[in-house]
Structure 1
Amino acid sequence: MSPLDQAEYASLERFRVHQAAAWAVQSAHVARRSEFYRELWQGQTPPADLRDLPDLPLSDKAQLRVSQADHPPFGNYMAAPRRDAVRLHRTSGTTGQAMNLALSARDCAVTETVGGRCQSAAGLTPEDTVVHCLNYQMWMGGLTDHMTLQATGAMVVPFGVGSTELLVRTIQEVGITAISCTPSYPSVLERVIAEKFPGLRPRDLGLRLGLFGGEAGLDDPAFRARLRDVWGMEPRNANYGVSDVFCNFAAQCTQDTRLHYMAADVLYPELIDPDTGAPLPLEAGQTGELVLTHLLRDCQPLVRFRSGDIIAVDETAPCTCGRTGFRFRVVGRSDDMVVVRGLNLFPTMVAAVINEFVELSGDYRITLDAPPPYDALPVCVELAKGQGASDGLADAIASEIKAKLGATARVKIVPHGTFPLTEGKTKRVVRSHK
């Protein structure tokens, strides 16, 4: 079994036939080789029909952490001989203990194929030279994302993180046309350009395309508009993934800013109620937690794995670009959700309000120094360069948060440059309480 050719354009009928055949092979592989799932299923046989997957229990990251701690280094959900693994990655550990990720040669090839679909949809072409600015030190976002960029035919510059002055010079000297990085990284570059390259504007670098992933923020029109204005490049949400599952399986196209699901031939999606685990229909207008099942995975196959991401499904009909995957937005992570007097709030919602204020840099933190419940949202916002905090600015921000989100906020304003420069993922919700 292999991925479908041109799967992003395949019909629902073609997917159903392929998925059924792939699941027949994959479910037998998991049942035979994964001790973890045999124990979890307690004698249950995986259903023949994917529509009956909710008969099986859910699995989650906490269980995988225990599995790797008890059965190092790969956990007892490793379903292939160690000699079959040709690459080892490690998750970023943003939400807890870093995990070891083993991939076979076929796992690597499938990952690169799916990720290449995403980068191509976002506009990267063989005519481009793209600089990749994510951490290469074991993180899936480094080498593996590099290979998805390369799968488009583009020339890829494996830059990584750090040495930002050298990056600016490299972009100038090589004629780089696109950058792959987190949404927060351009602000890091802007500070370095302002300090080290007098008279140079970000748009003078000539980048035409920004390929972003790893953090939220791209759903905010104000954030996109700022990137276009400052950099002169088109921002694209090109890299949505879950490291334990696939590094990249959804991206926007050139005609729609919402994420297109690109992996239905190798990854089966479900929606559940994040509180109860009950299945929800995957249809337009539905919001729920994304649950994923590998249809093709050798080393560490996952079945009904809770991603922790809350998504809103906007469209299930084909896009005007011809791609047939459902289109969705990431509302936030379930572990980043803050409940304030019964309101479920996510960092992306707060960011959308903050980005309306030109006095602010757009960087912020939500610091929770006590356990819930919360009667107000503590938000620390940073001033834009050259801006001072006018009387009443904090109250104006709090009023806007109240009007837009319905929650009371305690707003603190800090000078520009207070928050550290972050070249990797930026953690917006900080839980400092025990």
Structure 2
Amino acid sequence: MKVESSINASNALFDEEFETLSPGQVRRHQDGLWSPQWGYIRSMSTFYRGKLSRWIDREVTLDSLQELPFTEKDELRISQETTAPFGDYVACGEAGVSRLHRTSGTTGRPLILANSAADAHRIAQVGARSMWAAGLRPTDRVVHCLNYCMWTGGFTDHTILEATGATVVPFGVGNTRLLIDSIVNLGINAISCTPSYPGLIEQVLRESTDLRPRDLKLTLGLFGGEAGLDNLDLRNAMEEKWGFRIRNANFGLSEVLSILGGQTDWTNDLLYHASDVVFAEIVDPATLQRLPIEEGTVGELVCTHLQKECQPLVRYRTRDVVTVTGVDRGPDGRTAWRFRVTGRTDDMFNVRGINVFPSAVRVAVESLPQWASGIFRIVLKGDGPYDRITMTVEAAQGLPATDWPKAREQVEAAIRTRVGSTADVTMVPFEHFPRTEGKTRWVEKEA
């Protein structure tokens, strides 16, 4: 099914025909897409002809897909080391590659990413569904503040914003004072960036202008690249300070699809917008068995491309742990299933038998804005398991040093309550850690 978008500022949905299909209709559409995609992979991917040699002559359905082995990120890295630059999982010739990116390298050696023109178009269309659901319209003027230096979040997400019909200001990262002037002088009303970047903007406002965050008159914040926006205390505090609506509009993985899901106005959960491009499975992190996508399911998200020309992936382990929060039709007619990202299996560490996710620690720290700024670092020494969470936490702005012992007690208690583990907290002054335009690293590992 080819779904064409009709951009109209009054439309509630970007791709109404697809976004309102029933789950049964979506699955039939997926089955129809997977059959030729499987044939394409068998014919064109050297990597999968070897990896899936036992199955390569069989007709694999989306039901029997779960019998196939997973694809791991390290396999892709090794593939690219031996067959540079794209790896032997590239399934098209050089003439078919329209765009080259690389991953940010947050979880290891960066991957080189290849997209055909058709791949790039699908990325833009699915991403535009998410941005539209988040509230971006052709009447908006949005400044895009993610890194354009080869990172997918820069140029490719720029094309996503443009696909909504909005006016896009390609700012990138750095020169925050110029960004402030541009927002004020160009009538920009929306910003696309990481959730931690407004903290840097606020710092520059305080140090070099008489303006407050609300004086910029931004009405919409489109965030991605970091966890934390599920914390309602943090969201409410940011919305009160800045005066804009906050949307986590940009959940995805560069090697799979730049944007898989995002929020809309009637829920704080993420909607899975990519069902016609990426088939999602949820597997039990312990047994790795497929689980039903139904309310209450918790497991690791696994992705298979239904439409991908350059670097198609089969059963790719994202390492993101998600909780399904709903599968019913929303009040706007959207039928996408809803979920929250609760952690990553590769970020998880063990403290006295308890699996700890940094995102859970972040929620605990950010629940205490009167005591802590919300910025911290967890320090892991050795390979673990660990007997406590050793961490450094910034004090709240203006909190006197005489109150730091009390702040430490409050943070340790919040972590013990939310995470179930003992924390050893060291308090440091406000703005001890540098603010960044990009992703914030919450964990530091020492040998």
Taking structure 1 as the reference length, what is the TM-score of the superposition?
Answer: 0.97
2:134 to 110, 122, 134: 122
Q: Is 1:397 the equivalent of 2:399?
A: no
Once residues 55 and 279 of structure 1 are traced to their aligned partners in structure 2, the CA distance between those partners, rounded to angstroms, is 10
Q: Is 1:175 the equivalent of 2:187?
A: yes
Q: Is 1:147 the equivalent of 2:167?
A: no
1:98 to 89, 92, 110: 110
Once the two structures are TM-superposed, the CA of residue 2 in structure 1 deviates from its matched residue by 4.5
CA deviations 1:136-187 (Å, max 9, x no partner) are: 0000000010111111111000000000000000000001110000001100
1:298 to 305, 309, 315: 309
Q: Is 1:56 the equivalent of 2:73?
A: no
Please list, as runs of the form range in 1=range in 2, the aligned pairs for 1:2-21 lying within 5 A after superposition: 2=2, 6=16, 7-21=18-32
Instruction: Provide structure 1 residue ranges, at least 5 long, that are not aligned to the other structure.
Output: none
CA deviations 1:251-274 (Å, max 9, x no partner) are: 111111100000111110001122
Please list, as runs of the form range in 1=range in 2, the aligned pairs for 1:283-432 lying within 5 A after superposition: 283-357=294-368, 358-389=370-401, 390=403, 391-432=405-446
1:194 to 194, 200, 206: 206
CA deviations 1:343-374 (Å, max 9, x no partner) are: 12212211121122212111111111222111
CA deviations 1:397-431 (Å, max 9, x no partner) are: 11221122211111111111111121111111222
Partner of 1:184: 196
Partner of 2:12: none
2:225 to 214, 234, 238: 214
Partner of 1:265: 276
For 2:63, what is the secondary structure of its paired residue? helix
Once residues 2 and 42 of structure 1 are traced to their aligned partners in structure 2, the CA distance between those partners, rounded to angstroms, is 32
Once the two structures are TM-superposed, the CA of residue 213 in structure 1 deviates from its matched residue by 0.4
Once residues 379 and 2 of structure 1 are traced to their aligned partners in structure 2, the CA distance between those partners, rounded to angstroms, is 51
Once residues 393 and 257 of structure 1 are traced to their aligned partners in structure 2, the CA distance between those partners, rounded to angstroms, is 29
Taking structure 2 as the reference length, what is the TM-score of the superposition?
Answer: 0.94
Contact 1:47/1:53 (<8 A) preserved: no
Partner of 2:7: none
Amino acid at match of 1:307: T
Once the two structures are TM-superposed, the CA of residue 287 in structure 1 deviates from its matched residue by 0.7
Q: Is 1:78 the equivalent of 2:90?
A: yes
Once residues 110 and 293 of structure 1 are traced to their aligned partners in structure 2, the CA distance between those partners, rounded to angstroms, is 15
Once residues 440 and 32 of structure 2 are traced to their aligned partners in structure 1, the CA distance between those partners, rounded to angstroms, is 40
CA deviations 1:4-46 (Å, max 9, x no partner) are: 7532222222212211111011000001111111111123135
Once residues 373 and 416 of structure 1 are traced to their aligned partners in structure 2, the CA distance between those partners, rounded to angstroms, is 31
Partner of 1:35: 46
Once residues 19 and 108 of structure 2 are traced to their aligned partners in structure 1, the CA distance between those partners, rounded to angstroms, is 33
Contact 2:239/2:245 (<8 A) preserved: yes
For 1:16, what is the secondary structure of its paired residue? helix
- Over aligned residues, Cα RMSD in angstroms? 1.3
Moved more, 125-134 or 352-361: 352-361
Once residues 92 and 154 of structure 1 are traced to their aligned partners in structure 2, the CA distance between those partners, rounded to angstroms, is 26
Once residues 174 and 414 of structure 2 are traced to their aligned partners in structure 1, the CA distance between those partners, rounded to angstroms, is 36
Partner of 2:101: 89
Once the two structures are TM-superposed, the CA of residue 321 in structure 1 deviates from its matched residue by 2.2
Once residues 40 and 282 of structure 1 are traced to their aligned partners in structure 2, the CA distance between those partners, rounded to angstroms, is 27
Once the two structures are TM-superposed, the CA of residue 3 in structure 1 deviates from its matched residue by 5.5
Aligned residue pairs total 432
Once residues 2 and 388 of structure 1 are traced to their aligned partners in structure 2, the CA distance between those partners, rounded to angstroms, is 60
Contact 2:349/2:385 (<8 A) preserved: no
Once residues 265 and 331 of structure 2 are traced to their aligned partners in structure 1, the CA distance between those partners, rounded to angstroms, is 10
Contact 2:234/2:367 (<8 A) preserved: no
Once residues 432 and 126 of structure 1 are traced to their aligned partners in structure 2, the CA distance between those partners, rounded to angstroms, is 48
Amino acid at match of 2:178: L
Amino acid at match of 1:103: N
CA deviations 1:267-325 (Å, max 9, x no partner) are: 10001122332222221101110000000000000010001111111111112221111
Once residues 284 and 23 of structure 2 are traced to their aligned partners in structure 1, the CA distance between those partners, rounded to angstroms, is 25
Contact 1:89/1:140 (<8 A) preserved: yes
Contact 1:8/1:263 (<8 A) preserved: no
Contact 1:3/1:266 (<8 A) preserved: no
For 1:257, what is the secondary structure of its paired residue? strand
Moved more, 421-430 or 286-295: 421-430
Percent identity, aligned pairs only, is 46
Once the two structures are TM-superposed, the CA of residue 60 in structure 1 deviates from its matched residue by 1.2
Q: Is 1:282 the equivalent of 2:282?
A: no
Contact 2:196/2:435 (<8 A) preserved: no
Contact 2:141/2:189 (<8 A) preserved: yes
Once residues 109 and 92 of structure 2 are traced to their aligned partners in structure 1, the CA distance between those partners, rounded to angstroms, is 23
Amino acid at match of 1:272: V
Moved more, 115-124 or 347-356: 347-356
Q: 1:431 to 1:8 in 2, by over 3 A?
A: farther
For 2:367, what is the secondary structure of its paired residue? coil
